[in-house]
Amino acid sequence: MNKKQMKKILTDMAHTRVSCTAQEKEAAEYLAARCEELGVKARLESFGVETGDVSFASLKADGSDVPCTGYKLCGSGSVKAPFLYLPHLDRASLAEAKGKIVMVDGYLGLFPYKDIVDTGALGFITYDGNVRYADRDIDSRAVRADLAEGRKILGVNVNAKDAAKLVKAAPKEIEVRVEQKEYTGESHNVVAELPGESDEWIVLTAHYDSTPLSPGVWDNMSGCVGILGMLEAAAKASRDKKLRYGVRLVFCGSEERGLLGSKAYVAAHEAELGKVALNINLDMIGSAMGKFIAVVSAEKQLVDFIKYYSVLEGWSIEARSGVYSAIPRPSRTRAFPRSPSRGSRPPTRRRSTAATTPWRSCPCRSSRRTSTSSRPSRSGSSALPPARWDARCPTTSRSSSTSTSEGSARTSKRPFPRLAEGFQPPAACTESLSSPRELPKPRRGPEKL
C-alpha cells in the first residue's frame, strides 16, 4: 500500500462516524470492500448497543440559560436543586452532595458515578474544552449502560468556559431538563480472515468509529489503514507459501462508547479465544509529532523485542508492560484467554502455594527488619533485598510457584535463594503453616486479571 492509496482511504473517511449511525455502517462496508480488494473475504457482524436520541436539553442557573448537551441514556425529565461543585470525590466532599446537582471535573467514570448516585445527588454536570480556546464546542456524551446499572439521574455537558462561570457565580439553584428517546441501536464489527497452516490466529484490531466532534482520520482511520497494510503484506506472502498462523482483522465499532465492539466480539467468539496467539491493536498512529507507545499485556520478552526491533528500524518507541484501556478496569468482566495448545498465557500476578498466609501476620517480617539490611550488602553478606525476603521464610516460600486461570493450573519451578546461614525462623512462623488464614479480598477491582 503506497502513500497515494493510504491518503485516499483517509480522505474518503474524513467524517464523523458516531456509534449506531448510518455513517458508521457506511464506514464498515467501506473497510470490508478494501479487504475484498486485497483478495481477503470480509463480513459484518452486528451487535446491539443501548443508545438514545436527545431531542431537548437545557441548563438554567438562577434562571439564566447555559448552553449544554444532554447525556444519552440518563433518562428524561427535569429537576431543580442547589448547585455544588465537586473538585474532589472523597467522603467528606460527597457528604454534601445529597439532594443537589453536582458538577465534576472531566469524564464521569464508573466509581464517581456510583458514588454520587449512592450519596443521593439529583443530577450531574460535566464539562470539556479549554477556557483559553475560542471555540464553544460541547461534546455529546452518554451514560454507559454498564456504568449506570439501571440507576439513572439527569446529566448535561457544558463547555469549560461556562463551567468556570458557574463556579465563580455560585448559583443557588440549578435546573436540568433532558428529553430523549432511548432504544437499542445496531453497530458492526468487520471481520476478515486469511487462514494459515496452524489453527491459531494472529488478530489485528483497530476501531473505526469516531466521537461526535472528530472527523475520525487520526482517531482512528489511521489505525485501520495500518492493519490494512499488514493484511496486504500477509496476503502477498501467502501466495508463495501458506502462512504459519492465520491472520484475522477485526475493525471494531462503537469503541468510543466503551470498547463495545471489542466486548461484542469476545462474547460472540469466546470459544475461539484460546486459539489467539497474538493480538496487535493500533490506535492513532502515524502522527508527525509526538511519541509512539506500545503497551504489552504479554511476556516481558515481547516488550524487549519491540524496543530492540524499533532501534534496528531506525525509530524509537516507548514500550512497557500493562493494559492500555479507554475505560476503567478493562478486565472487569473477562479474564485473559489461555491457549491450551501452547500451555502459556499472558503473565498474571504469581501466587505462592502458601499464599493463604498473610504476609503482615508473619513474625519473620519483624525479625528480618531488625536482623538484616533492606539492601544487599556489597561485602557479600547474606542480607537479602525486600523482594526476596519471602525466600527466607518457610511460611511464604516454596520451591515452585503456581498460578491459576479459569480452573486450569500451571506450575513453574523457580528455586528461591538459599536461606541465610544461621537463620532460624520463630516458632510461631512455622506453626502458622498448619493453620493458614485467607488473604483479605480487595475492596474494589477484579479478583483476577
189 and 24 Cβ atoms separated by less than 8 Å: no
Q: Same structural domain for residues 204 and 244?
A: yes
How sure is the predictor about 416, in pLDDT bands with cuts at 50, 70 and 90?
very low
More confident residue, 403 or 183: 183
pLDDT value of residue 273: 95
Q: Is the pLDDT of residue 286 over 60?
A: yes
Tell me if 196 is assigned to some domain: yes
How sure is the predictor about 320, in pLDDT bands with cuts at 50, 70 and 90?
very high
What does the pLDDT look like over 18-49, one tens digit per residue?
A: 999 999 999 999 999 999 999 999 999 999 99
Q: Same structural domain for residues 105 and 38?
A: no
Least confident span in 130-134, 233-237, 308-312, 355-359: 355-359
How sure is the predictor about 391, in pLDDT bands with cuts at 50, 70 and 90?
very low
Tell me if 333 is assigned to some domain: no
Domain end residue (candidates: 122, 148, 172): 172
Domain end residue (candidates: 151, 172, 193): 172
Q: Is the pLDDT of residue 304 over 50?
A: yes
How sure is the predictor about 428, in pLDDT bands with cuts at 50, 70 and 90?
very low
Q: Same structural domain for residues 203 and 268?
A: yes
pLDDT value of residue 144: 83
Read off the CATH number of the domain in which 70 is found: 3.50.30.30
Read off the CATH number of the domain in which 226 is found: 3.40.630.10
Q: Same structural domain for residues 69 and 168?
A: yes
Which candidate, 265, 283, 399, 382, places its Cα nearest to that of 334? Answer: 265
Q: Among residues of the chain, what percentage have pLDDT more than 70? A: 72
Neighbour-count burial for 44-73, b at 16+ CB within 10 Å, e otherwise: ebebebbbbebeebbbbbeeeebebbbbbb
Q: Same structural domain for residues 141 and 85?
A: yes
For the chain, give the mean pLDDT.
80
**Is the torsion defined by CA of 4, 5, 8, 14 positive or negative?**
negative
Tell me if 442 is assigned to some domain: no
Tell me if 315 is assigned to some domain: no
Q: Which three cell numbers stand for residue 247?
A: 491472520
pLDDT value of residue 111: 83
Tell me if 325 is assigned to some domain: no
Tally the domains of the chain: 3
Tell me if 115 is assigned to some domain: yes
Which candidate, 314, 226, 412, 296, places its Cα nearest to that of 305? Answer: 296
Rounded to 10 degrees, what is the CA torsion of 5, 8, 9, 13? Answer: 180
Neighbour-count burial for 344-369, b at 16+ CB within 10 Å, e otherwise: ebbeeeeebebbebeeeebbbbebbe
Q: How far apart are CA 71 and CA 394, in angstroms?
A: 56
pLDDT value of residue 288: 83
How sure is the predictor about 8, in pLDDT bands with cuts at 50, 70 and 90?
very high
pLDDT value of residue 175: 97
Q: Is the pLDDT of residue 197 over 80?
A: yes
Q: Same structural domain for residues 235 and 198?
A: yes
Tell me if 336 is assigned to some domain: no
Q: Provide the domain limits for residue 102.
A: 64-172
Tell me if 179 is assigned to some domain: no
What does the pLDDT look like over 166-191, one tens digit per residue?
A: 999 999 999 999 999 999 999 999 99
What does the pLDDT look like over 92-131, one tens digit per residue?
A: 899 999 999 999 998 887 788 989 999 999 999 999 999 9
Q: Is the pLDDT of residue 449 over 60?
A: no
Domain end residue (candidates: 244, 260, 290): 290
Q: Is the pLDDT of residue 375 over 90?
A: no
Q: Same structural domain for residues 144 and 81?
A: yes
Q: Is the pLDDT of residue 87 over 60?
A: yes
Q: Same structural domain for residues 27 and 98?
A: no
Q: Among residues of the chain, what percentage have pLDDT more than 90? A: 61
pLDDT value of residue 54: 97
